[in-house]
Amino acid sequence: MELLLLLLAGSLIFPLAAPAREITNACTSQANVFQHVNGTGMHLTLHHPQSPCSPAPLPSDLPFSAVIVHDEARIARLASRLAKTPSSRPTSLRKSTGGAHLGDSQATSVPLAPGASVGVGNYVTQLGLGTPATSYAMVVDTGSSLTWLQCSPCVVSCHRQAGPLYNPRASTTYAAVPCSAPQCGELQAATLNPSACSASGVCIYQATYGDSSFSLGYLSRDTVSFGSGRFPGFYYGCGQDNEGLFGRSAGLIGLARNKLSLLYQLAPSLGDSFSYCLPTSASPGYLSIGSYTPAEYSYTPMVSSSLDASLYFVSLASMSVAGSPLAVSPSEYGSLATIIDSGTVITRLPTAVYTALSKALGAAMGGAPRAPAYSILDTCFKGQVSKLRVPAVDMAFAGGATLKLAPGNVLIDVDESTTCLAFAATDSTAIIGNTQQQTFSVVYDVAQSRIGFAAGGCS
């Protein structure tokens, strides 16, 4: 990494010409379709990774083992981040580093899709950048702050992505950020890595992850297009060396609580909240920033944690199977800090809670034939979730918000003949994963420090 940093630091900005690595994006024609929702603004549609509407679809038989690999990498990344010195978050979203000021009454949204279409277990959407705007398939990440994408000429290396690389030279509003800019100094809090400076005085960022994936490049500024809105002065990373488990996405959209996140930069224009519905393969989803309808949700408070001020912590209070509380001490639910995360597929529970859940579910499944364990998933059954009678499972949070899980939120098909409990045990940080969040509207109201849930959000 140090050698790569020196290579960039000694280079002139974009000194080389390199061919963009392009592949056909089968859903480009649908990527620019925006839906008006509830009269409050625009929503971007999210699609399941194996949906035909998802960008650059991969074969529908993408092995679940690949999802597990990405999920384990995600856990390693979060663990690495939590092991570092906590970053401080801004005291107000109103002091954002960029964005036009259009008032707080607006909301803008984009379609959201599962990321199997680009070879990742997260969810993806299309984000526009530059003037004229070009759209890119980006992973939506509540656990990251800095938004970055691959840029030509890729001085070192770029992975193959869905569609062309972003070309800064083609945008009339692009600007490299100098090392003297305050945003360069904010990279430490956003990435937990210090910034560097190129020979030409351009700020260099390093975004590293626990699975050894990383993005390295120039901190840049340009106009971002999100839904129906265009927002000038958006700060992001223009990646010149991007390696690891990013699939064929163009990069990441950071939605954590940090000055450089997309949320904080658009907050002066749109407001202090964002919401999403993570779709299944049968329904579209969305990601929205801005106003929402409070009465539609039940809420749990965001929990403050000294581990990392940029992540979204909650308090899981209890769980039940078929209406009966799990046979575990209530104190076990709070034995570990708990994060809600858009990018983790399999929910991680404290070991005692998971053991009780596995036992209760196995008993409630009656005579359903058991199947061997699949990787980290050790409670498995023969058949497909759609063919089995799955008991009701509820997850209750502090404040009274409850996720009443449908069968597809409880079990996950790992192949054509096996389905498994979509939970696993952990002795570190607990995580509420995206399988349990699917089809719910989830709102992150940062201004009021609360997270809300509403059923039927993707319908």
SS (H, E, C) the chain: CHHHHHHHHCCCCCCCCCCCCCCCCCCHHHHCCEEEECCCEEEEEEECCCCCCCCCCCCCCCCHHHHHHHHHHHHHHHHHHHHCCCCCCCCCHHHCCCCCCCCCCCEEEEEEEEHHHHCCCCEEEEEEECCCCEEEEEEEECCCCCCEEEECCCCCECCCCCCCCECHHHCCCCEECECCCHHHHCHHHHHCCCCEECCCCEEEEEEECCCCCEEEEEEEEEEEEECCEEEEEEEEEEEEEEECCCCCCCEEEECCCCCCCHHHHHHHHHCCEEEEECCCCCCCEEEEEECCCHHHCEEEECECCCCCCCCCEECEEEEEECCEECCCCHHHHHCCCEEECCCCCCEEEEHHHHHHHHHHHHHHCCCCCEECCECCECCEEECCHHHCCCCCEEEEECCCCEEEECHHHHEEEEECCEEEECEEEECCCEEECHHHHCCCEEEEECCCCEEEEECCCCC
341 catalytically annotated: yes
Residues in Cβ contact with 450 at an 8 Å cutoff, skipping those fewer than 6 apart: 299, 300, 301, 302, 399
Is 311 among the domain residues? yes
Number of alpha carbons in the 13 Å side-chain half-sphere of residue 360:
21
Cβ neighbour number for residue 168 with a 10 Å cutoff = 20
Q: What is the pTM of this model?
A: 0.84
Assess whether pLDDT exceeds 60 at residue 355. yes
Same domain, 255 and 351: no
Same domain (yes/no): 308, 228: no
Please, which pLDDT band fits residue 121 given cuts at 50, 70 and 90? confident
Tens digit of pLDDT for each residue in 271-324? 999 999 999 877 789 999 999 999 999 999 999 998 899 999 999 999 999 999
Question: Which of 71, 141, 241, 445 is flagged as catalytic?
Answer: 141
Asked whether residue 337 falls in the same domain as residue 251, the answer is no
Domain shared by 411 and 276, yes or no: no
User: Residues 175, 130: one domain?
Assistant: yes
Pair (193, 70) in one structural domain: yes
Residue 6 domain-assigned (yes or no): no
314 domain-assigned: yes
Q: Is the torsion defined by CA of 285, 290, 296, 302 positive or negative?
A: positive
CA angle 158, 160, 163 (to 5 degrees): 110
Give the distance, in angstroms, between the CA of residue 53 and the centroid of all CA atoms in the same chain. 19
Catalytic residue among 71, 272, 341, 445: 341
Mean pLDDT of 12-33: 32
153 preceded by cis ω (within 30°)? yes
Average pLDDT over residues 237-257: 94
Which of the pair, 42 or 322, is modelled with greater confidence?
A: 322
Do both 257 and 300 map to the same domain? Answer: no
Give the model's confidence band at 24: pLDDT under 50 very low, under 70 low, under 90 confident, else very high. Answer: very low
**Averaged pLDDT for residues 378-387:** 96
**Listed residue (126, 140, 115) closest to 248, CA to CA:** 115
Parent domain of 391: 294-453
Does residue 258 or residue 46 have the better pLDDT?
Answer: 258
Which residue, of 286, 309, 330, is where some domain finishes? 286
Query: 165 or 6, which is more confident?
Result: 165
Domain termination residue (choose one: 238, 264, 286) = 286
The dihedral sign for the CA sequence 86, 92, 96, 97 = negative
28 falls within a domain: no
Q: Is 65 in the same domain as 180?
A: yes
Return d(Cα 458, Cα 281) in angstroms, integer.
Answer: 11
**Interatomic CA distance for residues 220 and 207, integer angstroms:** 14
Residues 307 and 390 placed together within one structural domain of the fold: yes
Asked whether residue 22 is assigned to any structural domain, the reply reads no
Residue 49 is predicted with a pLDDT of 45
Answer whether residue 134 is part of any domain: yes
Domain shared by 248 and 281, yes or no: yes
Domain count, the chain: 2
Residue 93 lies in a domain: no
